[in-house]
Amino acid sequence: MQELSQQIAFILELDKLKAVYRKALIKADNNRYENSAEHSWHISLTAHVLAPYANDAVDISRVTLMLLIHDIVEIDAGDTFAFDHHSVLGEQADKERAAADRIFGLLPLSQREKFISLWHEFELAETPDAQFAKAMDRILPLIQNMQNEGGSWAQNKVLRHQVIKRNHYLESSAPKLWEYVLAQIDIATERGWLRGE
Q: How many residues bind Ca ion (CB under 5 A)?
A: 1
Distances (CA, A) of 109 to 9, 92, 98, 119: 14, 26, 17, 16
- Residue 152 near residue 193 (C-beta atoms within 8 A): no
- Residue 77 near residue 96 (C-beta atoms within 8 A): yes
- Residue 87 CB burial class (10 angstroms; 0-12, 13-18, ≥19): exposed
Give yes or no for residue 8 binding a copy of itself (CB under 8 A): yes
β-pairing, 21-26 vs 32-35, is: antiparallel
What is the x/- site pattern for Ca ion, positions 99-138, by CB under 5 A?
Answer: ----------------------------------------
Site for a copy of itself in 121-150 (CB under 8 A): 140, 143-144, 147
Give yes or no for residue 99 binding a copy of itself (CB under 8 A): no
C-beta of 83 vs 180, nearer to a copy of itself: 180
Q: How many residues bind a copy of itself (CB under 8 A)?
A: 48
Work out what residue 45 binds among Ca ion, a copy of itself, none; the CB cut-off runs from 5 to 8 Å by kind: a copy of itself
